[in-house]
Structure 1
Amino acid sequence: MPSAPARPRPSASPRSWRATWACASPSRASTAPARSPWATGRSRPSGWWRSSWATAARRRKLGMDWDVALYQHTVSNLIHLSAVRPLPAGESWDAETGTYLLGRSLFENEAAVYTARGAEAGVTLAPVDGLGIKASAAFQQVAANGENGLCGPCSQAPQVKLFGAITYRTRQALELGVDAAWTSATTWVEREPSSKDPTVIEPLANTLPAYAVINARVSYTPVKDRVSVALVGSNLGPTHAQHPFGNRIERRVLALLTVTP
């Protein structure tokens, strides 16, 4: 089974540079490419194909490690619901519910072909002993060929994602850390029956604002490799949701005690 091109591993040499390029020809597969916005969506193992290419470069030297990646994925034959098809009079009675059915909507393959292009860059720094800094950014754009109306896969994948983290470890076994991630706004397309005619399925656009996730941690290890205590805060930024119909994600603070026999 073909898989998404793997990113290069850093060389063990303190100063090195390495670049790779890989190409996968169109083929059938059962999972979406690793960087595809449809990796968690429904698909038919024997009914869609993908093609992809990726190139990555990484440089590592003492105290700094950075990498850059470019990629393109093409996916077709995604699954969607068909329009409601009227049933013959002899098949419209549903004994289980005791009602007459107006029609039936079935899953079928889309005719559209989707192409995702993106770039990612990241850097890790260790300027002084005990201090670690990480930062990364990702940009992605999805286009559809043959799509009529609203394009769900085009707008549901965020175009920009940013991440940053700082950690500091003291010689007194105290560790401090904070990280933050920001995701740009998206629009989720959900299919619902029309309020005027339930036999018509309409795509409705639901906007999800941009949101940030902030986490922090303070830990102390009085007995090395044996006992540690920590105070952890997650989702310390504004309350937000990660889906227009999802639950609100609020702040959480935990006190942890870890004992290793």
Structure 2
Amino acid sequence: MDIKDIKKPKMSIKRRVQVFVIAAILIYLYYVAFTMTDLTYRGSSLSPLNVFERLFIGPFTDEVALSKIPEYIMYMVETVAIAYAGTLIAAVLAIPFGFLSASNMSKVSYIGKAILNGIRAFPEIMLAIIFVAAVGMGPYAGVLAIGIHSIGMLGKLYAEVIESIDMKVIEALKANGANPIQVMWFGVIPQVIPSFSSYAIYRYEIDVRSSTILGVVGAGGIGAPLILASLQRKWEEVGMMLIVIIVVVTIIDLISGKIRAKIV
């Protein structure tokens, strides 16, 4: 039989009406978006080339930016410390949530997964705004925001690791009369610890990047001086801070990558 002889199924009238209605709605939404949105630019009079030059060349020639390198490094150290404290809290507290969410370890895993989904629904910046209002401006709010959000992410990853363990080891221990504590200590923990450690280190890399933004809302770190300098059009200082962030994040990525390679 020739391929041309095969008749294509015709689209029903109901289906055509649905497609037409959806297309009409999308066209209307695009029309409203482009006609009612103010697209005029009220930024700096500098050209993009000038801004780029001041961002990446100016920091090496501007005396003010060069003189503030130690200050920016200290801000970045604070950012790294915020990420470390938040990740450490999350790496520990996410373990019980991981076991609660694992279907092969918990009979109410749906409750654990619902809790983790609820935690992950709030981004770090939103949590930082809440904690700044609750505990005041400073690194403490940033640590809480990073820690709580990371619990949701690490808890989900931990649960997936626990669900993928070799259950034959658990069954063998139970068959030999091991109690629940012995099963957990000798059967589960040795299988999950390498992956737990690897995920925690990888999450730390992500939290370092996230914590650079939390300073924008007063949660400590390099984010506050970065946004302040950008609002004041001090592009040389912005560029220097970006260089410091790039160097530190790159070093952390290289170190954590080697550590994770040895663990896994």
Tell me the TM-score range normalised by the shorter chain.
Answer: under 0.3
More strand by share: 1
TM-score, structure 1 as length reference: 0.22
The answer to which structure, 1 or 2, has the higher relative contact order (CA under 8 A, 6+ apart) is 2
More helix by share: 2
TM-score, structure 2 as length reference: 0.22
